[in-house]
A and B are shown apart, each in its own frame.
Chain A
Amino acid sequence: MNLYAYASPATFYHLAGRLIPWFAWGAGLLTVWGLYVGFFVAPTDFQQSEAYRIIFIHVPAAWMSMFIYLVMAFWGAIGLAFNTRLSFMMARALAPTGAMFTFVALWTGAWWGKPMWGAWWVWDARLTSELILLFLYVGIIALWAAIDDIKRGDRAGSLLTLIGAINVPIIYFSVKWWNTLHQGATIKPSGTSMDAIMLQGMLVMAFAAWFYTIAVALVRVRRIILERERHTEWVKALLAKEI
């Protein structure tokens, strides 16, 4: 098997087409399972009552938001180092999903905060970091939107993702430091040690989020490939067949 063959957009287009249904169905099934565990099986938390159940969405979304950023930085670095077109396309395909999860994490954080502290927004270290992460995502997407030239956009966006990725740990540390100095609120996932069943629910939801991300990113990559390669013979043949 030649791994390089899969780095060619034409081959990858067909491979992605075969993979998408698997990941989409996987995401659906895992979500149903995860939500079932989270909302019906997991016991009610004695400190936080039913409201805590939002963490089954909040925590996986927050994990994904950071992880997707790192994956984007990885693809960007690969693209810059080896000049592979597909890696830049992957980075572009992931960004909207990353921003979406960041937004979900913020939104659910606010929903959780209201019953917990009686305020929609608390300058908690984690929420603040998520907010800054959202700024970073918006910056990258805005930069891509502003650059018309594909090659320049790919490289510029990857450089920005990279310097952001170097900066993210520092931002997280500084915000935490700032938070402890100002004695702000700190979210702790249920004061006691986490139940095994709660952990299970959360992990299942995290896998569901992963499958969803892969499925959506593959759909987007396919669209980007078609758009960028529309002058090549194989895309013309493909489109002619479909019409």
Chain B
Amino acid sequence: MHRFLLAVLRRDLTLAARRRGDWLIAQFFFVMVASLFPLGVGPEPEMLSRIGPGVLWVAATLASLLSLSRLFADDHRDGSLEHMILSPEPTVLLVLGKSLAHWLIYGIPLLLIAPVLGLQFNLPAQAILTLEVSLLLGTPILSLLGGVGAALTLGLRGGGVLLTLLILPLYIPALIFGAGAVDGAMAGTGSEAHLSLLGSFLVLSLMIAPWIAAAALRVSLE
């Protein structure tokens, strides 16, 4: 069982390593969206540190969504998705492995870029630390929920936009708890409550999303 999970992970990581261009686009998108906000609202440091946590969270969400529509689409096109579904191993593990790989490829780099953007938004060190923890807990949720959306919209016209429409509302709790945690750290009211709620949401998504995504994948391939 773990051999299968590892095989899925290694495969997706290898494929991503062969196509670094796609990978870089998502990271640049994150930087670009975040940088547009100061241009839109003005460069006052107080204002920027006020909106910073929310902006960085929204930008990270969008950057991560950008790549989600291809989670199953590439494998669907060349037929390897069918082979994976026809493997004797459970489809849930396949979905879990692919979501995990998506998080490692697209989620982790966001964690590395976010502190730099945090400095741009005049966030204090404590807030940046909280931002990192909140993104660490929050980005896997997007990869998991996104797996459901990617499976449901597999092979549809305009699947990418539709995916965004389906998944963003479901993702709102993570956005609220995540950005709220950073706000709490900056206001000095503490962020533990937010982070533990975010953690619970992650656990819940981990328990439910892969099953629904696996069912959706079978429905879409039928």
Residues of A within 8 A of B (CB): 80, 132, 135-136, 138-139, 142-143, 146-147, 151-152, 155-156, 159-160, 162-164, 166-167, 170-171, 173-175, 177-178, 181
Complex partner residue of B173 from A135, A142, A167, A181, CB under 8 angstroms:
A167
Q: Which residues of B contact A139 (CB under 8 A)?
A: 165-166, 169
Question: Is the CB of B85 closer than 8 A to any CB of chain A?
Answer: no
Q: Which residues of B contact A80 (CB under 8 A)?
A: 215
Question: Is the CB of B209 closer than 8 A to any CB of chain A?
Answer: yes
A174 in contact with B173 (CB, 8 Å) = yes
CB A4 to nearest CB in B, in angstroms, measures 25
Residues of B within 8 A of A (CB): 145, 148, 152-153, 156-159, 162, 165-166, 168-170, 172-173, 176-177, 180, 183-184, 197, 201, 204, 208-209, 212, 215-216, 219-220, 222
Compute how far the CA of A135 lies from the CA of B166 in the bound complex, rounded to whole angstroms: 8
Prevailing SS type, chain B contact patch: helix
Which A residue's beta carbon lies closest to that of B222? A152
List 18 extra interface pairs beyond A170-B204, A177-B180, CB under 8 A. Answer: A132-B172, A135-B169, A142-B165, A146-B157, A146-B162, A152-B219, A152-B220, A159-B152, A159-B215, A162-B212, A163-B212, A170-B173, A170-B201, A171-B172, A174-B176, A174-B197, A177-B197, A178-B176
CB A170 to nearest CB in B, in angstroms, measures 5
B166 in contact with A160 (CB, 8 Å) = yes
A142 in contact with B162 (CB, 8 Å) = yes
A-B contact count (CB 8 A): 81
Pairs across A and B, CB under 8 Å, 14 listed: A132-B172, A136-B169, A136-B170, A143-B153, A146-B162, A159-B215, A160-B152, A163-B145, A163-B170, A163-B208, A164-B169, A170-B204, A171-B169, A175-B172
B177 in contact with A155 (CB, 8 Å) = no
B173 in contact with A163 (CB, 8 Å) = no
**A135 in contact with B168 given A142-B162, A147-B156, A171-B173 (CB within 8 Å):** yes
Q: Which residues of A contact B212 (CB under 8 A)?
A: 159, 162-163
Which A residue's beta carbon lies closest to that of B198? A174
| Interface pairs A-B: 6 shortest CB-CB | A174-B173, A135-B169, A155-B219, A139-B166, A174-B176, A178-B176
B220 in contact with A156 (CB, 8 Å) = yes
B180 in contact with A167 (CB, 8 Å) = no
**A156 in contact with B209 given A138-B165, A146-B157, A147-B156 (CB within 8 Å):** no
A167 in contact with B170 (CB, 8 Å) = yes
**A163 in contact with B148 given A146-B153, A181-B180 (CB within 8 Å):** yes
Compute how far the CA of A160 lies from the CA of B166 in the bound complex, rounded to whole angstroms: 8
Q: Which residues of B contact A152 (CB under 8 A)?
A: 219-220, 222
